[in-house]
Amino acid sequence: QQQVKQSPQSLIVQKGGISIINCAYENTAFDYFPWYQQFPGKGPALLIAIRPDVSEKKEGRFTISFNKSAKQFSLHIMDSQPGDSATYFCAAKTGNQFYFGTGTSLTVIP
Amino acid sequence: KAGVTQTPRYLIKTRGQQVTLSCSPISGHRSVSWYQQTPGQGLQFLFEYFSETQRNKGNFPGRFSGRQFSNSRSEMNVSTLELGDSALYLCASSLGGVGANVLTFGAGSRLTVL
């Protein structure tokens, strides 16, 4: 059973456009929601994260929007660049355990 | 500061064999987690070790096992390999204490089972 559901599976965006990746969860015990970025041949790396007491967090071109009542959170990449082309994973943490989404392959076309 | 080091990076095995993968965490990190990454399945949690004790275990068969040494280095073993075990195996380390939220991943060990 997938504890964190992620969509879409793949996404193609024009350079300068906005990329949006969505995640949903059911377990209300989750208390930390990170996003990881993975380039080919590399392990995932922490991109940005949010706690459920905050509705939005922005770091540069990357923003997490969090809707606690809907149990959903999303990653927005503004002014998407070809260098953003990677696989993105959302995750949720409870206790010492992380649960990851199935990943979104983002391609930014020049 | 050295990152998380996984060895070997690539390996090819045949069905029925066993394999051992190694992970050296970031210095000072006491928690090591293992994940299996396959296309379409994302990162599936295998197990987590903290101070040589398995703290959490995912939903994998007993053929998958692991251990952690006193220097926090960890190994995972897969016995009686099956074709479906072909995957990228990722190790991640963290401080492991309360509120330790940041996982740092290694580059992974890519296992191909023929």
Are B31 and A43 inside 8 Å of each other by CB? Answer: no
Furthest-apart CA pair in chain A: how many Å? 41
- Check residue B1 and give its pLDDT: 64
- Check residue B98 and give its pLDDT: 66
Compare all CA atoms of chain A with the CA of B106 and give the residue at the minimum distance: A43
- Check residue A2 and give its pLDDT: 78
Give the three-state DSSP class for A28: coil
Confidence of residue A80 (pLDDT cuts 50, 70, 90): very high
CA dist A5 to A26, A51, A91, Å?
A: 9, 18, 9
Are A96 and B35 inside 8 Å of each other by CB? Answer: no
CB B87 within 8 A of CB B111: yes
From B16's Cα to the closest Cα of chain A, the distance in A is 27
CB A47 within 8 A of CB A88: yes
Is the pLDDT reported for residue A17 higher than 80?
A: yes
Tokens of B31: 């928690």
What's the angle, vertex CA A47, arms to CA B65 and CA A21, rounded to 5? 95
Beta bridge partners of B91: B34
From A109's Cα to the closest Cα of chain B, the distance in A is 22
**Phi then psi for B15, rounded to 5 degrees?**
-55, 140
| pLDDT of chain B, 114 residues: tens digit per residue | 689 999 999 999 999 999 999 999 999 999 999 999 998 788 999 999 999 999 989 999 999 999 999 999 999 999 999 999 999 999 999 987 766 788 999 999 999 999
Best B10, B103, B110 member to test A by mutation, with max A CBs in 10 Å, is: B103
Give the three-state DSSP class for B106: coil
CA dist B51 to A24, B22, B60, B68, Å?
A: 33, 16, 22, 7
Tokens of B24: 């050296």
Is the pLDDT reported for residue A95 higher than 90?
A: no
Alpha-carbon span B8 to A63, nearest angstrom: 36
Alpha-carbon span A19 to A78, nearest angstrom: 7
> Cis omega (within 30 of 0) on the bond before A8?
yes
Report the half-sphere exposure of B71 (CA within 13 A, side-chain side): 6
SS (H, E, C) B2-37: CCCEEECCEEEECCCCCEEEEEECCCCCCEEEEEEE
Section A102-108 average pLDDT: 97
